[in-house]
């Protein structure tokens, strides 16, 4: 619900049903069988009779030559059952083993937002891309950033409205078009400053943020086309104070980056 004095702020809230919780995997006796698990069925396929080790319908000896020969024949079937069950693990990013390249092709990876070539980095990038498919609400953006290791708060500015807004609040006068902007506060982000005696003029920038380009690249494909994110970088970790039941966010020194 909109507040008559404060802008709308969205902070990270853990989902009630995390997407990382896997559903029960389909499992039965043939999911990952051993050869001895398949042996009774394999022996039952042989003809019956004394010549086949089952006089008068007696159970066959599992230590006989015929049983050992059957074990050899069942080896490929054991591998077949295990591989067939493994296909079910390829249906989710969190459990895939052999279909990473196929998933990447489906989601247009690698791209400019995924510079890493390591296997773990490719899995992490794919997981981020899959999570971002259903990114709709501000909380979705916050959770996506949290999964990528960023602590952010999204602020949605509001223009002053007569009969609704309170004097002295955060609602400012201006054109309603300014409500297309939403502010992404990024906390505890490393910033390297130009240092006299260490940095080189004409080579080192006055300041350089570390990692913000990755977040901008991630959000750049997702934010609604009629909106424009503005990134505000805070050097210090986010601290929360509560005043009159209203959470206040203190960020310390900050820098603002507006995408072109």
How does pLDDT run across 171-212, given as a tens digit for each residue? 777 777 777 889 999 998 777 778 888 788 888 888 777 778
Q: Is residue 221 part of a domain?
A: yes
pLDDT for 240 equals: 54
Residue 255 has pLDDT above 70, yes or no: no
At 19 the pLDDT is 56
What gap in Å lies between CA 153 and CA 9, rounded to an integer?
7
At 36-87, the pLDDT tens digits run 999 999 999 999 888 888 888 788 889 999 999 999 999 999 999 988 888 8
Distance between CA atoms of residues 39 and 36, nearest Å: 5
Q: What average pLDDT does this structure show over 148-158?
A: 89
Residue 207 lies in a domain: yes
Beta bridge partner(s), residue 172: 159
Angle of CA points 38, 42, 46, to nearest 5°: 170
Per-residue confidence band for 152, with pLDDT thresholds at 50, 70 and 90: very high
CA–CA dist 26, 170 (Å, integer): 53
Spacing of C-alpha 248 from chain mean position: 29
Give the DSSP letter string of 59-118.
PPPTTSHHHHHHHHHHHHHHHHHHHHHHHHHTTSTTT-SS-HHHHHHHTT-S-TT----S
- Asked whether residue 118 is assigned to any structural domain, the reply reads no
Q: How many CB atoms lie within 10 A of CB 111?
A: 13
Q: Is residue 36 part of a domain?
A: no
Residue 18 lies in a domain: no
Between 115-119, 155-159, 222-226, the lowest mean confidence (pLDDT) is in 115-119
Checking if the pLDDT of 116 tops 90, the result is no
Q: What does the chain come to in residues? A: 260
Strand partners, 248: 241
C-alpha 240/C-alpha 250 separation (Å) is 7
Helix axes 138-147, 212-220, angle to 10 degrees: 140
pLDDT at 47: 92
In angstroms, the CA 121 to CA 116 distance is: 6
With respect to residue 4, please indicate whether it lies within any of the assigned structural domains.
Answer: yes
Residue 24 lies in a domain: no
Contact 4, 165 (CB under 8 A): yes
Mean pLDDT of 94-110: 88
Can you tell me the distance from the alpha carbon of 179 to that of 158, in angstroms, rounded to the nearest whole number? Answer: 6
CB 233 within 8 A of CB 255: yes
Structural domain contains residue 62: no
242 pLDDT above the threshold of 70: no
Which of 88-92, 128-132, 217-221, 241-245 shows the lowest per-residue confidence on average (mean pLDDT)?
241-245
Look at residue 251 in the predicted model and tell me its pLDDT.
44
Domain interval for residue 161 = 1-12+136-260
**Count of domains in the chain?**
1
**C-alpha span between 164 and 166 (Å, rounded):** 7
* 134 C-beta neighbours (distance < 10 Å), count: 10
């Amino acid at each position: 619900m909109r507040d008559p004095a404060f802008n709308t702020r969205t902070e990270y809230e853990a989902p009630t049903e995390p997407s990382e919780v896997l559903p029960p995997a389909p499992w039965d006796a043939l999911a990952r069988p051993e050869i001895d698990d398949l042996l009774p069925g394999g022996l039952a396929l042989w003809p019956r009779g004394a010549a086949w080790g089952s006089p008068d319908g007696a159970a066959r000896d599992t230590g006989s030559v015929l049983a050992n020969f059957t074990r050899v024949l069942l080896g490929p079937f054991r591998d077949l059952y295990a591989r067939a069950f493994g296909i079910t693990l390829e249906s989710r990013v969190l459990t895939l083993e052999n279909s990473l390249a196929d998933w990447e092709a489906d989601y247009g990876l690698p791209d400019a937002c995924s510079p890493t070539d390591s296997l773990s980095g490719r899995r992490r990038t794919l997981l981020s891309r899959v999570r971002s498919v259903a990114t709709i609400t501000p909380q979705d953006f916050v959770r996506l950033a949290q999964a990528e290791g960023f602590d952010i708060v999204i602020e949605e500015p509001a223009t002053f409205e007569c009969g609704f807004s309170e004097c002295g609040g955060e609602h400012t006068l201006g054109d309603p078009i300014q409500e297309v902007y939403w502010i992404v506060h990024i906390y505890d982000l490393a910033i390297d400053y130009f240092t006299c005696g260490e940095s080189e003029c004409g080579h080192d920038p006055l300041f350089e943020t570390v990692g913000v380009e990755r977040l901008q690249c991630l959000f750049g494909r997702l934010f609604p086309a009629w909106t424009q994110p503005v990134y505000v970088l805070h050097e210090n970790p986010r601290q929360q104070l509560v005043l009159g039941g209203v959470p206040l966010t203190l960020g310390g020194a900050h820098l603002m980056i507006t995408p072109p």
